[in-house]
A and B are shown apart, each in its own frame.
Chain A
Amino acid sequence: MASKLETEELTRVVDGERIVDSVSVRIPTAEVVAVIGPSGAGKSSFLRLLNRLDEPTAGTVYLDGRDYRELDPLALRRRVGFVPQAPALGSGTVADAVTVGDRLCDNPVDDERVDRLLERVGLAGYRDASVDDLSGGEQQRVAIVRTLYVEPEVVLLDEPTAHLDENTEARLEALLEDLIREEALTCVVVTHDTDQARRLSDRIVRLEDGRVTQVGTPQEVIP
Chain B
Amino acid sequence: MSEDALATLVEHASDPAVITGFVQIAIAVVLAAAVLVLTYLRDLGFGRELITTSSRGLVQIVATGAVIGLLLAAHIAWASVVLAFMIAAAAWISHERGADLPGSFRASLLAIGVGSAIVIASMAVAGAIERTMRDLIVIGSMVIAMAMKTNSLALERFTDELSSNRAEIEAVLSVGVPPERVVSEHVSTSVYASLIPILDRLKSLGVVSIPGLMAGMIIAGANPIYAAQYQFVIMLMLFSAAAVTSMVSTLLVSRYVFTEAKQLDNDVLESIDA
A: which residues have CB within 8 A of B? 14, 51-55, 69, 73-75, 77-78, 81-82, 84, 86-90, 100-101, 104-105, 143, 146-147, 149-150
For residue B91, give the distance in angstroms from its CB to the closest CB of chain A: 31
CB contacts (< 8 Å) of A146 on chain B: these are 171, 175
Instruction: Kindly state the separation between the CA atoms of A147 and B261 in the bound complex, as whole angstroms.
Output: 20
* Contact flag A100-B172 (CB < 8 Å), given A84-B167, A88-B167: yes
* Contact flag A55-B176 (CB < 8 Å), given A86-B167, A88-B168: no
Return the CB mask of B167-184 against A: 1 if under 8 Å, else 0. Answer: 110111111111001101
Instruction: Kindly state the separation between the CA atoms of A55 and B267 in the bound complex, as whole angstroms.
Output: 12
A-B contact count (CB 8 A): 72
CB contacts (< 8 Å) of B176 on chain A: these are 74-75, 77-78, 101, 105, 150
Q: List 5 A-B contacts (CB under 8 A).
A: A87-B171, A88-B170, A105-B178, A146-B175, A149-B175
CB contacts (< 8 Å) of A74 on chain B: these are 176-178, 262
For residue A149, give the distance in angstroms from its CB to the closest CB of chain B: 8
A54 touches B168 (CB 8 A): no
CB contacts (< 8 Å) of B178 on chain A: these are 74, 104-105
B263 touches A55 (CB 8 A): yes
A104 touches B172 (CB 8 A): yes
A104 touches B182 (CB 8 A): yes
CB contacts (< 8 Å) of A52 on chain B: these are 261, 263
Q: Is B259 an interface residue (CB 8 A)?
A: yes
CB contacts (< 8 Å) of A51 on chain B: these are 174
Return the CB mask of B148-181 against A: 1 if under 8 Å, else 0. Answer: 0000000000000000010110111111111001
CB contacts (< 8 Å) of B182 on chain A: these are 104
For residue B260, give the distance in angstroms from its CB to the closest CB of chain A: 9
For residue A108, give the distance in angstroms from its CB to the closest CB of chain B: 15
Q: Is B122 an interface residue (CB 8 A)?
A: no
A84 touches B181 (CB 8 A): no
For residue B274, give the distance in angstroms from its CB to the closest CB of chain A: 12
